[in-house]
Amino acid sequence: MSSLAPAAEVAIVGAGAMGTGIAQVAAKYGHRVHIFDNRIGAADAAQQRIGDALRKLASKGKLDSSEAEAAAARIVPVHALGDLVSAKLVVEAIVEDLDVKRKMFRDLEVVVTPEAVLASNTSSFSITSLAAGMKHPGRIVGMHFFNPAPILPLVEVVSGLATERAVADLVYETAKAWGKVPVHAKSTPGFIVNRCARPFYGEALRLLLENAAEATTIDAVMREAGGFRMGPFELMDLIGLDVNFAVTKSVWEAYFHDPRFAPSILQAELVAGGRLGRKSGRGFYDYAADARKPSPATESAKPRPSKITAVGDGTLVDGLRERFASAGLAVERRKASGPAHFVVEGGILAPSDGRTASSIARDAVVYDLAFDYGSCTRLAVASAAGCSDAAYAAAVGALQAAGIAVSRIGDAAGLVVMRTVAMLANEAADAVNQDVASARDVDLAMRNGVNYPVGPLAWADAIGVDHVRTVLANLAAYYGDPRYRTSPLVMRAERLTDE
């Protein structure tokens, strides 16, 4: 299947931020792009914004000036739907209102030829529902860009029940030709990204609600240990708490109140109070001009331990053991048949397996998952209720000696990164198990749509799917909540990717 030829005309319906961004992408590739908006002057303003954006790219050396001017000249504002008659692809990017979108598609169907593809940039509505009642439902497809469209690479190509495969393939190849990273998805609530990303926010909100740690500490741990570009609370403030809450609520309702997607009462309270994040001046953080962002909880310096014993081997201890040795700590190795861990001055330093530290041993300190134990700059730890000061100090001192800042949190099951990654992998696996998308496309979507350091399925393979199963089982036992039920794919598979 080939892509839409550059000579083919493209139409964008909706001259807001998304429509304008998509128009810029198409024009840059070579299409003549007609922009329509029923708001007077909106299409003309969009033409001006696109021209300015292209010229700015040229001024920065990211685009040849002649190419910028040529692309800008290909943007044509129109003021009636009838002017879109020659379009081969129409991308709808209007308000997220199902009835309004349905009416627009019915109006478009009267205008364009039967061969024209009608795509929706919707992030939440069923493509099957949008196509219902159309004369040619097979040409209706989702083409979900991420904001800002000229920058973010992902495009979810979403097929409803009636969408013809040839139509989905044409849109997929066209998105690729436009320099995007397309993925195929079935029309299910949240598609790939908005579904699979829910635990990134949900687990952090649960930890905050349980007073396990402050928002700034959770964010720091997710960045500095997990390798995420932003922490969940920083990201919710950037997106807008109202927007993030609305997406969560929409997915939860669409899945008939499945507990895995349940919204947080804490986030609902903040939205009700008008604390929407950066755009309102306050969310989880205060954005007033004189406000200072609080520092994450960081343990004071503890003595360097004289000896560490590494008991057993495995992904979750090997990198840290090597880091201890590189820092000049004396590390003794001992084989073991049980879970791998460290013994530090008589206390236990163990990787999280979804249990609380108190349920492991009296003198246990549990450390969190890191994307890379060899380079992480911070780890979260939790100690058992009866842990002695000496055992705790020795464990923290070992991590600090290896150059790792330590954030102590409450004795929360699964800590921060481990429970989040296990839940992300579980949701991603369920999407694959339900044939929403392939494992490859799920991981591609999560890397390119929300900038995760690695796809959640590949991350589960790196940790060990058996360990992810254990974490989920322990979380389910601790909370007694079906939210943590294990996906059938995680239950039966030894690997979640083909790589």
Q: What are phi and psi of 139, to 5 degrees?
A: -95, 5
Q: Is 299 a catalytic residue?
A: no
pLDDT of 337 strictly over 90? no
Indicate whether 157 and 34 sit together in one domain.
Answer: yes
**Mean pLDDT within 95-102:** 95
Among the options 126, 159, 194, 487, which is catalytic? 194
CATH number at residue 327: 3.30.750
Local structure of residue 263 (DSSP, 8 states): P
* pLDDT on residue 13: 98
Burial class (CB in 10 A: 0-12, 13-18, 19+), 62: exposed
Question: Is there a single domain that holds both residue 140 and residue 16?
Answer: yes
Write out pLDDT tens, residues 443-461.
Answer: 999 999 999 999 999 999 9
CB atoms within 10 A of CB 197: 26
Together in a domain, 494 and 363:
no
Residue 345 lies in a domain: yes
Average pLDDT of the segment spanning 360-377: 97
Residues contacting residue 41 through CB under 8 Å, at least 6 positions apart: none
Strand order, beta sheet including 75-78: 75-78, 33-36, 10-13, 89-92, 117-120, 140-145, 154-159, 181-186
pLDDT of 438 reads: 98
Q: Which of 171, 187, 203 is the last residue of a domain?
A: 187
110 pLDDT higher than 80: yes
**With bands split at pLDDT 50, 70 and 90, how would you rate the model's confidence at 338?**
confident
Q: Is 450 part of any domain?
A: yes
**157 and 198 both lie in a single domain:** no
Angle at 231 between CA 226 and CA 232, to 5 degrees: 115
Look at residue 86 in the predicted model and tell me its pLDDT. Answer: 97
pLDDT higher than 80, residue 187: yes
Question: Would residue 354 count as lying in a domain?
Answer: yes
179 and 207, same structural domain? no
Domain with 437, as residue range(s), is: 193-295+416-499
- CATH number of the domain to which 477 belongs: 1.10.1040.50
pLDDT tens digits, 245-303 = 999 999 999 999 999 999 999 999 999 999 999 999 999 999 999 999 899 999 999 99
Q: Whole-prediction pTM value?
A: 0.96
- The answer as to whether 349 is a domain residue is yes
* pLDDT tens, position by position, 23-65: 999 999 999 999 999 999 999 999 999 999 999 999 999 999 9
Shared-domain flag, residues 393 and 476:
no
Question: Average pLDDT in the 177-205 region?
Answer: 98
In this structure, is the dihedral angle defined by the CA atoms of residues 387, 389, 394 and 396, taken in order, positive or negative?
A: positive
| Separation of alpha carbons 199 and 421, rounded Å | 8
Same domain? For 14 and 129 the reply is yes
Residues 407 and 298: their CA atoms lie apart, in Å, by 5
Are 101 and 234 in the same domain? no
Query: Residue 160: inside a domain, yes or no?
Result: yes
The radius of gyration computed from the CA coordinates of the chain, to the nearest angstrom, equals 25
Does residue 358 have a pLDDT over 80? yes
**Percent of the chain clearing pLDDT 90 (strictly above):** 98
Q: Is residue 301 part of a domain?
A: no
User: What is the rounded average pLDDT of the residues 190-211?
Assistant: 98
- The total of other beta-carbon atoms located within 10 Å of residue 461's CB is 20
| CA max distance for the chain | 80
> Which of 408, 427, 448 is a domain's end point?
408
Q: What pLDDT score does 91 carry?
A: 98
Does residue 262 share a domain with residue 181? no
Confidence of residue 1 (pLDDT cuts 50, 70, 90): confident
The catalytic position among 120, 121, 123, 187 is 123
The answer to whether residue 499 scores a pLDDT higher than 80 is no
pLDDT at 225 over 90: yes
Q: Say yes or no: 235 and 268 in one domain.
A: yes
Helix (H) or strand (E) holding 322: helix 315-326
The answer on 363 and 325 residing in a single domain is yes
Query: How many domains does the chain contain in total?
Result: 3
Q: Catalytic annotation on 467?
A: no
Taking a C-beta distance cutoff of 8 angstroms, is the pair 162, 13 a contact?
no
Please report, for the domain that includes residue 88, its CATH number.
3.40.50.720
pLDDT at 138: 98
**Residue of 9, 92, 156, 203 marked active site:** 156
| pLDDT-based confidence at residue 124 (cuts at 50, 70, 90) | confident
Per-residue pLDDT of 340-353, as tens digits, reads 999 999 899 999 99
* Residue 156 annotated as catalytic: yes
The neighbour count for residue 178, using CB atoms within 10 Å, is 21
Q: 303 in a domain, yes or no?
A: no
Q: Is residue 5 a part of any domain in this protein?
A: no
**What is the average pLDDT across 127-155?**
97
| Pair (36, 178) in one structural domain | yes
Residue 38 is among the residues annotated as catalytic for this protein: no
- Which amino acid does the sequence have at 17? A
Query: Is residue 336 pLDDT above 90, yes or no?
Result: no
Question: Pick from 172, 187, 202: which residue ends a domain?
Answer: 187
Beta strand ranges found along 104-251 (DSSP E) = 117-120, 140-145, 154-159, 181-186
